[in-house]
Structure 1
Amino acid sequence: MPQYVQGVVARAKGEPVRVETITVPDPGSGEAVVKVQSCGVCHTDLHYREGGINDDFPFLLGHEAAGIVEQVGPDVTDVAPGDFVILNWRAVCGRCRACRRGRPQYCFDTHNARQRMTLADGTELSPALGIGAFAEKTLVAAGQCTKVDAAASPSVAGLLGCGVMAGIGAAINTGGVGRGDSVAVIGCGGVGDAAVVGARLAGAARIIAVDIDDRKLRTARELGATHTVNSRTSEPVEAIRELTGGFGADVVIEAVGRPETYEQAFYARDLAGTVVLVGVPTPEMTLELPLLDVFGRGGSLKSSWYGDCLPSRDFPMLIDLHLQGRLDLDAFVSETIALDEVEDAFARMHKGDVLRSVVIL
């Protein structure tokens, strides 16, 4: 029988979101219904509300979530009712050319639930990143559910579903940060701070956090940055070079998603160093660099898809590190809120007042 639950819906571009009744169908083949326990408020949800992703309104927002599997459809074997899971937005297919090469983290044919959740009048909803977890329950593909240790608090576990994983993965998986490396992170929001944490976990010797907001720089230092640069008052490329013996950092992670900060990242790396773009640009942005500089500086220019993570591998590992006291996920939670407070949380996030607001259901 379909279930009727409360969820946060964005009906039109720029309109305030509101809590509405949504219909969650029984899971079909390869699908699961998850009782959501927590969901982080991510910038991507605000992008959806503002029409920055696409115009498939109305959207059921929320995607950084953890909860309990309540029902599974036919042919589901990896998770079962009662499992504590983190939701992900890149359920791998196992059949595409990336998966066949043993690189499922780059799967080119990821999928979501086939059925759609709807409003009470039957209008189909577009779930954010194929999840839609600002809701009491949501329907997802079973492959979007990753079972983890239930000893972890849902309020922090769900953060691995997007921003924290993207940042940690940008450092460890994409950037390949190693022991003794120097790392610069440009942009210290949730993803950038997670990149700082990832660099620390990987054993980087010098971690330079760059931002225009002293509040964010203080948080970055608390999370493991060894040095900070306010790029309003200091030229960031010169500052990073000065802090790395005049050479530049081994790995520079751009977590803003703007051409000017990407150019800073490009010139702030050492020869043969690595630039990782994990900040999300908008469609109209373009980049111009002298091709001779691209050739002459060598190294790697990489984009990080979801921290190049494989949820089945990375989520349980990071939860284990958290439970061992080696990864402080609680530090990312600025506040916990109710479902009807998401619109206010967007405003606080836009002002930079919070690292993460987390909806508790």
Structure 2
Amino acid sequence: MQQVQAVVALGKGQPVTLTTINIPDPGPGEAVVKIQACGVCHTDLHYREGGINDDFPFLLGHEAAGVVESVGDGVTDLVPGDFVVLNWRAVCGECRACKRGEAQYCFNTHNAKQKMTLAEDGRELSPALGIGAFAEKTLVAAGQCTKVDPQARAAAVGLLGCGVMAGIGAAINTGAVTRGKSVAVIGCGGVGVAAIAGSALAGASPIIAVDIDPKKLAKAKEMGATHTVDSSQVDAVEEIKRISAETYPGADGADVVIEAVGRPETWKQAFYARDLAGTVVLVGVPTPDMSVPEIPLIDVFGRGGSLKSSWYGDCLPSRDFPMLVDLYQQGRLDLDAFVTEEIGIGDIEAAFEKMHHGDVLRSVVVF
């Protein structure tokens, strides 16, 4: 066992605390990873606010990259010194999804079995998304470690651990965006902008960014949006239809509409902004009290197409992370653009505040 510094949420709504935690030596199937960088994601704030569950204290942080320090018995595909991006989809290989060759839908993803604890009183910690990477080191299941090019910048590629992968995957994996398709993205925070980057990578056009914040729309344009729509000023559905028809005469909306907000009203916009037989992808995370908005069932039937939700961009880390890191290294995917600032481990509360005001795509803790 060893002790390290880490950021913990001790109670609902309380400011986070920098404290000492205990990291067990890795057991069978586990690994200890020395963290190099970890992004500050909105999900971490959800944990702190009690929006996920009440299993306090939480060890926050999950968008991380680092170096494997040690591994437990039975781990054969990792060795100390491997540079890895951490993920929360360590697939089991045994469930129905895995056995039918669709491990990206694994029903039984797993985490480390041992618990990290608070040094002061031994209380067990609940690691965010089974990772807990606002820490100098963390304990994870070996399957949560994906080896990537060790020359890559940790602060950038670590973001594949959650938000950036969720957005890129919502476009490419869930939405099946390709050349010749039009795309609209509603909500241009970190995940939405990543969906725009993924759509651009796939060769889609037009790519229509929708938001009410001019700063976010400007960033969307930088990341590949061909058009921007300020939905506080115009009807977003009508604008998406108009822009789509300019490129594809006769189109009645975009082929794929990605909702990256997670609210009933924006999901309803996405539903009506897609072309006939088009696809809606919900990647924004709703709160438990939200419901699907009232839409006449005949409209669901009459418009055809697909209504999908996207968990983690339907990604398979072992397949998608190395590919996207390679594209980043080739200069074809600008992951650096998602890193608004690099901060220290003591600056996370300030980063939460900047997130509230929409001032950052990602603040990244660098160790």
Normalization by structure 2: what TM-score? 0.98
Structure-1 residue corresponding to 2:309? 303
Q: Determine if the alignment matches structure 1 residue 162 to structure 2 residue 167.
A: no
* Deviations 1:128-173 (CA, angstroms, capped at 9, x unpaired): 0000000000000000000000010101010011000000000000
Question: In structure 2, what is the Cα distance between the partners aligned to 1:289 and 1:148?
Answer: 44
- Percent sequence identity over aligned pairs: 75
Structure-2 residue corresponding to 1:68? 67
Question: In structure 2, what is the Cα distance between the partners aligned to 1:117 and 1:53?
Answer: 19
Structure-2 residue corresponding to 1:267? 272
- In the alignment, which of 286, 307, 330 is matched to residue 281 of structure 1? 286
Question: In structure 1, what is the Cα distance between the partners aligned to 2:76 and 2:258?
Answer: 38
Question: In structure 2, what is the Cα distance between the partners aligned to 1:208 and 1:153?
Answer: 30
- In the alignment, which of 298, 309, 321 is matched to residue 315 of structure 1? 321
Q: CA deviation at 1:265?
A: 0.2
Q: CA deviation at 1:289?
A: 1.8
Structure-1 residue corresponding to 2:100? 101
AA in 2 matched with 1:110: T
Q: CA deviation at 1:317?
A: 0.1
**3-state DSSP of counterpart to 1:208:** strand
Structure-1 residue corresponding to 2:111? 112
Question: In structure 1, what is the Cα distance between the partners aligned to 2:86 and 2:144?
Answer: 5
Structure-2 residue corresponding to 1:356? 362
Structure-1 residue corresponding to 2:248? none
Q: CA deviation at 1:213?
A: 0.2
Structure-1 residue corresponding to 2:237? 237
Question: In structure 2, what is the Cα distance between the partners aligned to 1:356 and 1:205?
Answer: 26
Q: CA deviation at 1:303?
A: 0.5
AA in 2 matched with 1:239: E
AA in 2 matched with 1:231: S
Question: In structure 2, what is the Cα distance between the partners aligned to 1:280 and 1:78?
Answer: 33
Q: Determine if the alignment matches structure 1 residue 251 to structure 2 residue 256.
A: yes
Question: In structure 1, what is the Cα distance between the partners aligned to 2:337 and 2:180?
Answer: 25
Question: In structure 2, what is the Cα distance between the partners aligned to 1:334 and 1:235?
Answer: 30
Structure-1 residue corresponding to 2:6? 7
CA RMSD of aligned residues (A): 0.5
Segments of structure 1 that go 5 or more residues without pairing to the other structure are none
Structure-2 residue corresponding to 1:211? 211
* Deviations 1:225-259 (CA, angstroms, capped at 9, x unpaired): 00000011111001101111151000000000000
* Deviations 1:69-104 (CA, angstroms, capped at 9, x unpaired): 000000101211100000000100000000000000
AA in 1 matched with 2:74: D
* Deviations 1:264-295 (CA, angstroms, capped at 9, x unpaired): 00000000000000000000001122111111
Q: CA deviation at 1:209?
A: 0.2
**3-state DSSP of counterpart to 2:244:** coil
Normalization by structure 1: what TM-score? 0.99
Aligned residues: 360
Structure-1 residue corresponding to 2:353? 347
**3-state DSSP of counterpart to 1:243:** helix
Segments of structure 2 that go 5 or more residues without pairing to the other structure are 246-250
Question: In structure 1, what is the Cα distance between the partners aligned to 2:15 and 2:235?
Answer: 38
* Deviations 1:40-63 (CA, angstroms, capped at 9, x unpaired): 000000000000000100000000
**3-state DSSP of counterpart to 1:233:** coil
Deviating above 3 A after TM superposition, structure 1's stretches of 4 or more consecutive aligned residues are none
AA in 1 matched with 2:154: P
**3-state DSSP of counterpart to 1:342:** helix
Structure-2 residue corresponding to 1:146? 146
